Amino acid sequence: MSASSWYPAENGATLGQSGSEQGVIVHDEEHAFGARITLERDTTVAPFAITCGIYGWMLHTRWFGEQAEAERQYAQMKAVLGALLEGAEETAETDGGSRVLYDGIEQFVKIFP
């Protein structure tokens, strides 16, 4: 799979709605292997927030002061999440993908604190 593994969450119906950080959803995408990433503006904590998660494994939120940085980080986080999920899928037959997810989530949070 590739970047096309990402698709608009709820067919794009969430755009412009209130998100988990009480901001306005700007981007909201899901991955075919079970993840979601959302960018909101005007949140209660900061001007921008990115919330992402791998279903059943982790939820992670980051806050930003400027849109350009939030947009850059969103793209980078989305790419790394996609690669992590695809790596877990590739090893699913040998270890269920668990080791890849454990190690990958640890690295993800270090890269994107």
Q: What is the pLDDT of residue 1?
A: 45
* Structure token digits, residue 60: 């992670």
The predicted structure's pLDDT at residue 96: 67
Mean pLDDT on 60-86: 97
Average pLDDT across the chain, whole number: 93
Phi, psi of 81 (to 5 degrees): -60, -45
Extract the tokens encoding 75.
């793209």
Domain limits of the chain?
A: 3-111
Lowest-confidence range among 15-24, 47-56, 65-74, 82-91? 82-91
**Residue spans of alpha helices (H) in 15-97:** 67-90, 92-95
What is the token pair recorded at 8? Answer: 């608009």
Establish how many alpha carbons lie within 13 A of residue 17's alpha carbon, considering only the half-sphere containing its beta carbon: 10
Residue 100 pLDDT greater than 90, yes or no = no
Helix axes 67-90, 98-111, angle to 10 degrees: 160
